[in-house]
Amino acid sequence: MNIIEELNWRGLVKQITNEEKLLNAQNENRGVYCGFDPTADSLHVGHLIPIILLERFRRVGFQPIALLGGGTGMIGDPSFKSAERVLQTNEQVDKNVLGIETQLRRLIPNVDFQNNAKWLRKLSLIDFLRDVGKNFTLGYLLAKESIATRIETGLSVTEFAYTMLQGYDFYQLYTTSNCFVQIGGSDQWGNITSGIDYIGTQIGRENSGACGLTIKLLAKKDGKKFGKSESGAVWLDSQKTSEYDFYQFWLNQDDEDCEQMLKFITFLNESEINEVIHQHNQNPSARILQKKLAEEVTKFVHGEEGYIKALKLTEAFFNGELINLNKELFEIALTSIPSLELIGQTTAIDAIVAVGAATSKREAREFINANAISFNNSIISDENELIEKTSPINKKYIVVRRGKKKYYVIKLK
């Protein structure tokens, strides 16, 4: 399969430095790398496109390399950022690198892990200036859009040097790991070309097979940034974002965004995607697009087991059967529900207001009179009943349900 044709029909390609070199690299089973900045100990859904892109390259014959920024993470990539990043300690960067490596090992088979701390942390300033900086002119660097856009607002010498460090990374992988291709988001074009140009100065431009490819950033139709939910980032770590919340994130995408997402972040082929779109158009209310998207991405990140957990929790929330879940699934469900700790002597009406199920006692009484409030599936009729009278789940939890879909949790002190 021609990697360029595969990426083109999906609408992923933004720029390619040299198509001939890219196809030669595919035919020769060369390495391809993507860098991951260790700003946290987990990646989030915004990283899914480059992760899946690396896996697409693997499936057509490339050797995938995940470069973890244990060295560059000490600085932070300034590309198209409005302000300088807060610097992290060595210990925090190393912790983040370990967390990201653990995730990627699960997602990409046979991936080769490299950490640029291996060569950057032992590179002296004098060596860097002589061996790397000497090959970059000031005019060349100032012409980089990622640098030019920050000049007026302020760019430190530290961040100014970042693109040279990333160029040196590509050179290291090219010379030691048979890596001829670097891939990344469209914001990485300047850094990728820095690497290609630096490799050319070291081994000769005519001899270099180095090339790069950038992909389009996934933009939602409503203008909102992809990867964010109302509660913040959607993480790939189930301890930070549960399998249920992860699944729901995809299930709640708009129809107009789903087709592009299916192309960008699933491995469904063109005919399979067209069939899903056709089925969805036949019955839009069934949300077939969203369900297929949520299924494919949840299985990729959390496996079949995680997908089944998400389905069971979705069904339990919909049918009001949370209290019947096993202990593991119930604990997962709790992470998705607003909760509050109260003493057992709190009255029902006070608890309803305190937990947020009603905005006032007057509104709480209206809900109670309409039989719209239940504690652990028991309808509340007496506003003065103490919450300790309700049989707590695991002697600790009371699930407050308002109507069919609003849930809250009381934790007994």
Rounded CA separation 277/258 (Å):
9
Last residue in a domain, options 155, 180, 215: 215
Residue 158 domain-assigned (yes or no): yes
Mean residue pLDDT of the chain comes to: 89
Interval 40-56 mean pLDDT: 93
Domain end residue (candidates: 215, 249, 272): 215
Distance in angstroms between the alpha carbons of the first and the last residue of the chain: 61
Do 73 and 145 fall into the same domain?
yes
User: Are 233 and 171 in the same domain?
Assistant: no
> Does residue 194 sit in the same domain as residue 166?
yes
Q: Are residues 376 and 315 in the same domain?
A: no
Q: Which residues contact 365 (CB under 8 A, 6 or more apart)?
A: 349, 383
Q: Are residues 171 and 60 in the same domain?
A: yes
Q: Report, in this order, helix, strand and coil percent for the chain, each rounded to 5.
A: 50, 15, 30
Domain count, the chain: 3
The whole-number average pLDDT for the span 237-253 is 93
Q: For residue 223, give every residue at least 6 positions away whose Cβ sits within 8 Å of its Cβ, in sequence order, or none.
A: none
- 33 marked among binding-site residues: yes
Q: Does residue 319 sit in the same domain as residue 195? A: no
Q: Residue 285: is its pLDDT beyond 80? A: yes
Say which residue the tokens 């005919």 belong to: 271
- Give the pLDDT mean for 249-267: 93
When pLDDT is averaged across residues 253-270 and rounded to a whole number, the result is 93
Find out whether 162 is annotated in a ligand binding site. yes
Q: Is position 182 annotated in a ligand binding site?
A: no
CB 116 within 8 A of CB 69: yes
Residue 18 domain-assigned (yes or no): yes
- Judgement on whether residues 198 and 163 belong to the same structural domain of the protein: yes
What pLDDT is attached to residue 85?
Answer: 60
Q: Which residue has the higher pLDDT, 204 or 212?
A: 212
- Domain with residue 33: its CATH number is 3.40.50.620
Reply yes or no on whether the pLDDT at 9 is more than 70: yes
What local confidence, expressed as pLDDT, does residue 84 receive?
A: 60
pLDDT score at 7:
96
Higher pLDDT, 219 or 22: 22
- 179-185 and 31-36 strand pairing: parallel
- 140 annotated ligand binder: no
As a whole number of angstroms, the distance between CA 189 and CA 96 comes to 25
The CB density around residue 311, as the number of other CB atoms within 10 Å, is 17
Query: Using CA atoms, how far apart are residues 70 and 41, in angstroms rounded to an integer?
Result: 12
Retrieve residue 107's tokens: 């997602």
Same domain? For 237 and 355 the reply is no
Domain containing 206: what range? 3-215
- The DSSP symbol for 36 reads E
Task: Select from 13, 292, 65 the least CA-distant residue to 300.
Answer: 292
Residue 27 counted as domain residue: yes
Which residue, 189, 215, 241, sits at the end of a domain? 215
Maximum CA extent, the chain: 84
Same-domain pairing of 204 and 84: yes
CATH code at 308? 1.10.240.10
Angstrom distance (rounded) from CA 123 to CA 103: 28
- What CATH number did the domain enclosing 405 receive? 3.10.290.10
Q: How confident is the model at residue 222 (pLDDT cuts 50, 70, 90)?
A: low
Q: Is 222 a member of any domain?
A: no
The residue with greater pLDDT, 63 or 91, is 63
What pLDDT is recorded for position 78?
66
pLDDT greater than 80 at residue 125: yes
| pLDDT band with cut points at 50, 70 and 90 for residue 48 | very high
233 lies in the same domain as 210: no
- Percentage with pLDDT > 70 across the chain: 94
Query: Per-residue confidence at 230, pLDDT binned at 50, 70, 90?
Result: low
